[in-house]
Structure 1
């Protein structure tokens, strides 16, 4: 009888005790606090910044151009034609097509497959390589993100800029500040650059 207890009952009891202890530890550790740690940077007034106050760390940006844009869709905006293909926007100049960031108001029928849904102030936005869209009827329109919107990655061709002695990140005239959010590196929208 003692050998049966040692062989069968003790291992089962040990297993049950360790399982209960492990699940209690897991339940405790899944509660995450939402914290945002920011540096003491100056607040950008009203989120709008004049382009004359921005200093780019790299004085010249490499211009990417191609000869053809296959399977393009023509996007007409403010009386000018732009071209959309492979999740990029182009404008035509001297017989070549130059990659550009889309202007606010551009609309497309279908979001690219690599979009990320961003929820802020009870609104759903869609972020595709640093460009924010909102759904308008059956289309998706390029918009400026709201100040305070948080994203977890920036597009590959973002630029570092200096404003009032502080370093920020810029893409498509949107200024981001690097923060910690829920223990993860993130980027918060802190301003929009007004082009002069």
Structure 2
């Protein structure tokens, strides 16, 4: 009997123990890799599920009751650009609209096109999209023009325009500019802002 235990039972137990350990290691490795993938591809996964995420404006509450509007009496060396019957006045990498003799900074609407990008733009690549962005405005290149577009959900930027707004949606705080909603995130230890939605103004 002892011989039987030594010959068959103990080696079997040893093999089972080794197999269990190998399976456990494989499970651990797989879990770790999945965690790495989740962390690395968090933006991609989010994008697939909410790539056209529109937030009704009725759900968005601005922290300030009235939006601070900084207007100026004159915009030197301005260029007039028209889009859909609206005149934009461009100078110093900003667009303005005119109201009651004053010039008010404004973000051009989606579909607005220019031949030349504003100076100091940044090039951002996300998934298969290449954006050119400055002051919270995103452009796509279409032939020889650059068209204002809504960025894809998950797009990351590292700086918000100075006149962004803080908003709350379902009790959570976000940052808004030009109807684009951002969430503050950390990318490799650096503060960044991820596009999480677009406010639907209809």
2:65 and 2:164 map into 1 onto residues whose CA distance is 13
SS for the counterpart of 1:66 is coil
Q: How does 1:115-194 map to 2 (within 5 A)?
A: 115-194=121-200
2:184 and 2:64 map into 1 onto residues whose CA distance is 19
How large is the Cα RMSD of the aligned pairs?
Answer: 2.2
How far apart are 1:140 and its partner, in Å? 1.4
Larger Rg: 2
1:80 and 1:157 map into 2 onto residues whose CA distance is 22
Does the 8 Å CA contact 1:36/1:179 hold for their aligned counterparts?
A: no
1:37 and 1:179 map into 2 onto residues whose CA distance is 11
Does the 8 Å CA contact 1:37/1:180 hold for their aligned counterparts?
A: no
Q: Which has the higher contact order (CA 8 A, sep 6+)?
A: 1
- What TM-score, normalized by structure 2, do the two folds share? 0.72
Instruction: Write out per-residue CA displacement over residues 106-150 of structure 1, whole angstroms, 9 at most, x where no aligned residue.
Output: 122222222111101222101101110111222211111011111
SS for the counterpart of 2:74 is coil
Does the 8 Å CA contact 2:50/2:153 hold for their aligned counterparts?
A: no
How far apart are 1:46 and its partner, in Å? 4.1
2:151 and 2:52 map into 1 onto residues whose CA distance is 13
- What TM-score, normalized by structure 1, do the two folds share? 0.74
- What residue ranges of structure 2 are gaps of 5+ in the alignment? 1-36, 44-48
